[in-house]
Amino acid sequence: MNNQSPASILERQSRAFLRDGPPDLTQRRATLKRLAHAVKANADDLAEAVRADFGHRSRHETLMAEIFPVIAAVRHARFHLWRWMRPRLVWPGLELAPSRGRIVQQPLGVVGVVSPWNYPVQLALAPLVAALAAGNRVMIKPSELTPRTAEALADMLGGLFPEEDVAVVQGGPEVGAAFCRLPFDHLLFTGSTPVGRKVLAATAENLTPTTLELGGKSPCVIAPAADLAEAAASIAAGKLMNAGQTCIAPDYVLLPAGSSQQFVQHFVGAVTKLYPTLLDNADYTSVINGQHYARLAQLIEEAKQGGAKIVAIDPANENPPPQSRKLPPTLIVDPGENLAVMREEIFGPVLPVVGYETFEAALDFVNARPRPLALYYFGPEDQNLQKLLARTHSGGVTVNETLSHFIAENLPFGGIGPSGMGAYHGEAGFRAFSHAKPVLLQSRLNSRILLHPPYGKVTEAILRFLLRG
């Protein structure tokens, strides 16, 4: 899309931002509309690019999890933007009477976006929607692991926006590292926790405000009173979307000790219904590349060697060859806590199942690990749920379902601690990319004169008032 260095694109975008000033409501709504139209018009091409990058990616999943959230984000932003942009009038307080105050939402300038490969369209475009809604210019660095999608995005956005509004910079980790060292007015990074650490170190150099959307091990906690069949069906559907390559995919299951066998039966039944075959099944997505396939195979092998029970679900006994990268959904029952599968984010169709003796022990298990991006609870909305919500931390929670909180535009989406910092989606995205600027308007007649030297009795009296209890 461009032959210019990222630094010079940033400079041009910054200059254009200062030259043109913030776009008004009508301009922003029009920009978002054009973007949504283009995404819709290019949906099949984008889905094909993602499919080619993955080896196989279900077209329906691409439409549901990549195209729909972007269109929905635009629809939501276009509807609510007038309210988000409206300055909020505030009373500065008696002490400053008769001044007036307002909080003005101001675009930051140029926003950098670094996106990963697992949902390469959505995770590049949803931050773009939020940044444009807030009136910014944007530079996007997509993942090198999905090069066709990156190219398709660059083509689409290049045809839609001049480079001084929106630009796509392509390249791998070195380009990503250099990108994050640029003095953006805000940077949003979506990717792994280890790379997130490097990104924050890089943005610290310029004190660039940074949103980190990271990963982690998102637990599913099944309460003793839960319907195990329903929980298994929901976890299977959420886990196997995109073959488990989802930042908020259920990473492991905690269930009452003694119910593992029953859960396994329900889970196998649910998978068989969802995916009666794997190899040529258009609905079942491949693992992104050979390296990740080998990583997942190694996780399973290590667990097997460690004595865990392995349940590979291959409903039609196809035994998909590694080169298909269609890894059968695999349960790992009672894995040792030291196994890699219980320490690292799995990011594939592999699901450990761990028994707990008491619900408190399940909460302790979650709290003994880094704070996850998502947490799922299955069971009645009772005391246990209240305890779980009050005593565990996670980026977000969905109750009696998986993944759903992600697509609710009215809910902020983000992690906490090692699973991320900051949030976006809907109004949270608008606020992430705006500066809430306080403005105080003083009247000509005000109390300032009474607080100036030479201090005297009047000042003393005012101070007594200011320092009252």
Contact footprint for ligand NAD (CB under 6 A) = 114-118, 123, 141, 143-144, 172-173, 176-177, 180, 190-192, 195, 198-199, 213-215, 247, 345, 347, 373, 415, 420
Q: Are 198 and 334 within 8 A, CB to CB?
A: no
The structure tokens 């005391």 sit at 383
Work out how close the CB of 79 gets to ligand NAD at its nearest, in angstroms, rounded to a whole number: 23
Distance CA 140, CA 122 (A): 12
Q: Give the shortest CB-98-to-ligand NAD separation in angstroms.
A: 47
CB contact at 8 A, 104 and 437:
yes
Residue 267: CB minimum distance to ligand NAD, A:
22
Compare residues 256 and 348 and give the one whose CB is closer to ligand NAD.
348
The answer to whether 288 and 245 are in contact (CB under 8 A) is yes
Q: C-beta of 63: minimal distance to ligand NAD in Å?
A: 18
CA 320 – CA 308 distance, rounded (Å): 22
Q: How many whole angstroms separate alpha carbon 342 and alpha carbon 333?
A: 11
**Is the bond preceding 173 in cis, omega lying within 30 degrees of 0?**
no
Q: 248 vs 313, which CB is nearer to ligand NAD?
A: 248
Minimum Å gap between C-beta 68 and ligand NAD is 16
Torsion angles phi and psi, residue 350, rounded to 5: -120, 130
CB 130 within 8 A of CB 73: yes
Instruction: Output the smallest distance, CB 86 to ligand NAD, in A.
Output: 29
Question: Of the two residues 175 and 279, which places its CB atom closer to ligand NAD in the complex?
Answer: 175
Alpha-helix residue ranges (DSSP H) falling in 275-289: none
User: DSSP for 76-118?
Assistant: HHHHHHHHHHSPEEE---GGGTT-EEEEEEEE-SEEEEE--SS
* Cβ(278)–Cβ(327) below 8 Å: no
Asked if 432 and 209 touch (Cβ cutoff 8 Å), the reply is: no
Of residues 169 and 271, the one with the C-beta less far from ligand NAD: 169
Residue among 118 and 136 whose Cβ is closer to ligand NAD:
118
Q: State the residue number with the nearest CB to ligand NAD.
A: 215
Residues annotated as part of the active site: 213, 247
Q: At what angle do helices 68-85 and 122-133 cross, to 10 degrees?
A: 20
Beta carbon nearer to ligand NAD, 189 or 356: 189
